[in-house]
């Protein structure tokens, strides 16, 4: 029996490879001189790039999430029933916001179902985001 056709392989690979594909798209969108600058920066330790990415990640983590991660309802920033969950390793923190306890519980139940070998560090913020 032969495996999947060669053309389909990029789409059925693990998540890491899908991310490579997206990185490919990003790099395609960067102009030539910027690429040269990035390469030069990487060759000298990548300090500029590291700092840039670090700031961008922090900014996005701070950004208020406006939709419930489970049901997609608008999050009322003044509601006391909303909650935000941070999970994942320190260098790849993910953030999910929920409109209420039901959605939070649903999410956690599902997360346990797809839990991987590494145990995720979780931390629950207070509800007044
Ligand atoms: Zn919800």
CA of 99 from ligand 1 middle (Å) equals: 4
Spans of the chain, pLDDT less than 50: 1, 4, 7-13, 117-120, 123, 127-129
Contact 19, 26 (CB under 8 A): no
Using the mean position of ligand 1's atoms as its centre, give its distance from the Cα of residue 24 in Å. Answer: 34
Q: Calculate how far, in angstroms, residue 16's C-alpha sits from the geometric centre of ligand 1.
A: 29
pLDDT digits (tens, 9 = 90+) for 75-103: 887 788 888 888 888 888 788 889 999 99
| Distance from the alpha carbon of residue 92 to the mean position of ligand 1, in angstroms | 24
- Degrees to nearest 5, angle at CA 77 with 73 and 80: 95
pTM above 0.85, yes or no: no
Q: Looking at residue 78, what is its pLDDT?
A: 78
- Three-state SS string over 14-78 comes to CHHHHHHHHHHHHHHHCCHHHHHHHHHHHHCCCHHHHHHHHHHHHHHHHCCCCECCCCCCECCCC
> Cα(7) to centroid of ligand 1, in Å?
38
pLDDT given for residue 1 in this prediction:
47
């Amino acid at each position: 029996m032969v495996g999947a056709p060669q053309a389909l392989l990029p789409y059925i690979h693990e998540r890491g490879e899908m991310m490579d594909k997206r990185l490919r798209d990003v790099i395609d969108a960067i102009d030539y001189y910027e690429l040269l600058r990035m390469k030069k920066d990487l060759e000298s330790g990548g300090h500029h790039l590291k700092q840039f990415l670090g700031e961008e990640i922090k900014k996005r983590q701070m950004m208020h999430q406006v939709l419930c991660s489970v049901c997609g309802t608008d999050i009322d920033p003044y509601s006391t029933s909303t909650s935000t969950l941070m999970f994942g390793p320190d260098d790849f923190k993910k953030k999910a916001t929920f409109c209420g306890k039901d959605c939070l519980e649903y999410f956690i139940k599902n997360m346990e179902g797809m839990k991987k070998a590494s145990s995720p560090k979780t931390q629950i913020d207070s509800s007044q985001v």
